Structure 1
Amino acid sequence: MTVLKLKFSFQRRVRLAQALWLLSWVAMFSGVITFATGIFLKTELVRREEVMHNNDIHIVPNLLIMVGLASVGINICAGKVCQDSLDASRFPRWKNILIPFFCISFLFTSMLLVAMIMSYALQPSLEESLKVGLKNGIRFYKDTDTPGRCFQKETIDRLQMEFQCCGNTNYRDWFEVQWINNRYLDFTSKEVKDRVRSNVDGRYLLDGVPFSCCNPASPRPCIQYQLLDNSAHFNYEYQSEELNLYNRGCRQALVSYYMSLMNTIGPAVMSVFLIQMTVLLSLRFLQTSMEAVEGQENVEIETEGYILEKGVKETIMELKEKVKNILNQVKVDAAPSQAEPTEEEAGEKEATPAS
């Protein structure tokens, strides 16, 4: 049973070709936007790769970049087909190209849906990646003299100021690591010695945070040290001083930022997918309606266009059989043929004395 069969007069075919030509250009610009979106998302992820443990989330922008470029090529080709469909003498040259073209186009178009689904499905992976990456970033914050970590302090400070966050989960994460380089500690001081001896790892731990955790909206000068000691500061209670430091952890801030990007990109990608599918389905109608004109003296006859010549099940079985035949043919061609012996082998046989 033919799927979605429609009748097309000559005028309807011309209008379909003209409308599809315009739509293909719209879809091409949508592909450019998809490509630009992928580049933007890729750039944002690369900027924060120092605080990410793995790069699984990069598959989303990579897909968008690849599909965006493919969409541009697909729609340029679709526009050319529309132009040639207005001339019945030029359209037949597309006959053997359009079926592979449709298969490739549907493959790339379906990747848009894959990218959109993965952008949401990879949220747990993104959160875990940031959790480990930020933990390591805070741990290596003081290593400004270590090759490969020289800019870790700058990265964390810029991150905390830009996203108005502090620590991995909250500001208390800084209490668990030594974030001050030994170069800036006076080891002749009793206070420093006592703090270093107070833990088995010999680290200088304190209830303080870097300056980048300070909230500029605080009405009082920022309190960075002795944060848990109310008596160390005048008129201070750390339980109620919400404006002094950023309360939000950087992991939560970054996940919210990237997921807001994904939530914006998702509907845009869905719109591009629908536009691209409209182009491909319309192009299929145009192809099948124009094939009926081939060989006819009167090109203005009424023809029928359809999506599938047979039912979905029959089409799948037919494609499966074709693929199976192609694979069998490849196996046959790859098998060693029973060819005649070469001249060298024939000479060896003649030289062998008869028994």
Structure 2
Amino acid sequence: MMHVVKMKKKVIEVIRKSVVATCFYTGLLFAQLPNSITSADAFPIYAQQAYPNPREANGRIVCANCHLAQKPVELETPQAVLPNEVFETVVKIPYDTAQKQILGNGKKGGLNVGAVLVLPEGFKLAPKNTLSEELKAKTKSVYVTPYSPKQENILVVGPIAGEKNQEITFPILSPDPKKDKGVYFLKYPLYVGGNRGRAQVNPTGDKTNNNALLAKGTGKITGIDQNEKGVIVKIEDTNGKVLEQSIPAEYSVTVKKGDLVRQDQQLTLDPNVGGFGQTEREIVLQDPNRIIGFIGFSVLTMLTQTMLVLKKKQFEKVQAAEMNF
């Protein structure tokens, strides 16, 4: 019996650690705001050590494990870049700024946004001294960091205020194949994940308060009483025992007196207004010699075509003169 209990404890511990590892992004975002987040500060380091790549083998970015709702995200990037070139990649995270979310303290507030950008090997965050004045102005209020010292091609940002940052600019420096022998002049994929709002699952694996509240028992609702903090829903089971469940004022109650409810049935609307999305694009690392060769070939082709046209006109004039003679 004791052996079974120990085995159960080990299984629970493994599941808890697995959830923490896959929810690294939530913890990583929380770590950048240590003054406003209290319970998740310790998880980013643990998650980064346990999960070095935020993109799973099936292509999904692990942020989706905590941010359960799906929302759109857009990625704008140049079609092609030259070696050792600084360019910008823009991640768009659209949402209705009039919407408010339930914060960790139970009150309602604005939404934050965050993003993770997975670049090809060799691409990295551009140093500040290489940025143009225009690019410096675009990235002034955004703090972009590499995911880890060994993963410079993976960049993260957030959480930052969503009202002013629905478009996040990443300054990127392309690699030079002449200096980096592991990089070639090819077409490469870029992956991005962006979220707005709080997650539904904590790094510890338990649910946040950003979820619909569920009935704690089965029975008939005999009362919904208002108080200064919200409402108290009274559920009477078949044995006549009354269960009182407190619901904060920030939630919208969907049941009414006399309704029959089952355990774990929703008593409120889902308060979540945020969500996570991911997309991908392709970028070509272009060889300057190819461009020079293409321009030379185009000029040569145009000159050849022009000479053929002139020669044809000359031949037509000779033919006309011979016929008149």
Give me the TM-score of the superposition, normalised by structure 1.
0.20
Higher relative contact order (CA 8 A, sep 6+): 1
- Choose between structure 1 and 2: higher strand proportion: 2
Larger Rg: 1
Give me the TM-score of the superposition, normalised by structure 2.
0.22
